[in-house]
Amino acid sequence: MLDLTGSRADLGYVLAARTVPMVLFVLGGGIWADRLPRHHVMVVSNVLSALTQGAIAALLFSGHAQIWQLGALAAVNGASAAFFFPASSGIIPQTVPAPLLQDANAILRLGLNGSVIVGGAVAGLVVYATSPATGIAVDAVSFLVAAIFTALLHLPPSLHLESSHFLADLQLGWREFTGRAWLWAIVIQFGVVNAVEQGSEGVLGPAVSKDHYHGAAGWGLIAAAPAAGLMAGGLLLLRMRPRRMLLVATLGYLLTVPLLFGLAIPLPLVLVIGLGAVAGIGNETFGVLWDTTMQQEIPQDRLSRVYSYDALGSYALIPLGLAIAGPVAEAIGTKATLLAAGTISLSATLAVLLVRDVRTLRRRSPVELREPVVEPAT
């Protein structure tokens, strides 16, 4: 978008166009993920995402891409993601014993974050050396590869979830969501935090990089730095077993705030990369402990629906953040906008500590895994 129009606002509008359908369809995605084999939902989502990215790449290669076309395809891609997220989140306890959930979450995210490190850096270099169209074409192929691997999964037949009335499913998920103060409080927090952070970083970050950090190549390194921190955080969470999981998760998330201030100044590239790595550690600490808490507290047959309410609340304000970041920066300046975003994120994260359950909810001791004991014959 920066190459096509040079407008930060246009970039925000296209990013927002992808996020709006995620908000609109995520509740339906959660219900279908609880009804159908979850890996089948993931396969269909990956194929649809591949088609949309391929179409965007074709438009860019043709040299006739228009903003409305990119926005429309981004919207279809966002709708696809709305079905993928609840299914992929709910599938973990179907395949992993309860005592190993935190390890499984950490290992799964280590693999994900390792691919982001390589992908973020390679994407920046590919775009820098060739064109955005080539980078997005490679992205389309990656979705097809993901669909193939996901199709090879086999879930235990005993865990197949039966269909029921759509509205009844929706209401049951809502009761599970609203009945836990820690859950809705943190989701409200992330509704605010995601809007200001994704709006400021997603729209203004590339613009700051274009002015100060050698454009796409510098932004690729900055984008990869949090992934390195995510991997470090994942390794840490393989060993750390905090009893008060949500308290530690929230305190860890505070590590994400300095990156916004670093971009605002802006600090030298190497320091911003370091702050990105620290932010990754904080994000991963929160992510692993949040998923483990959800999987511990929410019944498995309702987990995807609760995750969909989580996603709805967490994503709801992102389109607004993406859409206004550019105009606000043009009105008051990029530095002031990033400083305001960091202050809002810090305040929202500290505020959630006022909720008692966030401070006190504890890990339940899992049943110890043992090999079956075979009694000797008499």
| DSSP structural state of residue 243 | S
Does 368 score more than 60 pLDDT? no
d(C-alpha 137, C-alpha 131), whole Å: 10
Is 197 inside a domain boundary? yes
Does 1 score more than 90 pLDDT? no
> Please, are residues 252 and 286 in contact by the beta-carbon 8 Å criterion?
yes
Is 24 inside a domain boundary? yes
Q: Is 162 helix (H, G, I), strand (E, B) or coil?
A: coil
Is 166 inside a domain boundary? no
Of 262 and 3, more confident:
262
How many C-beta atoms lie closer than 10 Å to residue 258's C-beta?
20
Is 74 inside a domain boundary? yes
Report pLDDT for 2.
65
Q: For residue 14, give its domain range.
A: 8-153+178-360
Give me the mean pLDDT over the 186-211 stretch.
88
> What pLDDT band is residue 371 in, cutting at 50, 70 and 90?
very low
Is 370 inside a domain boundary? no
Q: pLDDT (tens digit, 9 = 90+) per residue, 128-138?
A: 888 888 888 98
350-372 as b/e: b if 16+ CB within 10 A: eebbebeebeebebeeeeeeeee
Phi and psi at residue 366, to the nearest 5°: -75, 155
> What pLDDT band is residue 29 in, cutting at 50, 70 and 90?
confident
> What pLDDT band is residue 378 in, cutting at 50, 70 and 90?
very low
Give me the mean pLDDT over the 111-119 stretch.
76
Max mean pLDDT range (111-115, 133-137, 209-213, 280-284): 280-284
Question: How high does pLDDT run on average in the chain?
Answer: 83
Report pLDDT for 307.
82
Give me the mean pLDDT over the 164-178 stretch.
79
Judge residue 168's burial from the number of C-beta atoms within 10 Å of its C-beta, 0-12 exposed, 13-18 middle, 19 or more buried: exposed
How many folded domains does the chain comprise?
1
Of 223 and 145, more confident:
145
Does 219 score more than 50 pLDDT? yes
Report pLDDT for 372.
43
What proportion of the chain, given as a percentage, has pLDDT over 70? 91
Report pLDDT for 317.
86
> What pLDDT band is residue 282 in, cutting at 50, 70 and 90?
very high
Give me the mean pLDDT over the 236-249 stretch.
91
Report pLDDT for 68.
82
Max mean pLDDT range (9-18, 159-168, 178-187): 178-187
| Radius of gyration over every alpha carbon of the chain, rounded to an integer in angstroms | 21
Residue 52's CATH number? 1.20.1250.20
Is 161 inside a domain boundary? no
Judge residue 36's burial from the number of C-beta atoms within 10 Å of its C-beta, 0-12 exposed, 13-18 middle, 19 or more buried: middle
What proportion of the chain, given as a percentage, has pLDDT over 90? 28
Is 165 inside a domain boundary? no
> What pLDDT band is residue 34 in, cutting at 50, 70 and 90?
confident
Report pLDDT for 338.
93
Does 308 score more than 50 pLDDT? yes
Longest dimension (CA), the chain: 86
Is 40 inside a domain boundary? yes
199-228 as b/e: b if 16+ CB within 10 A: bbbbbbbbbbbbebbebbebbbbbbbbbbb
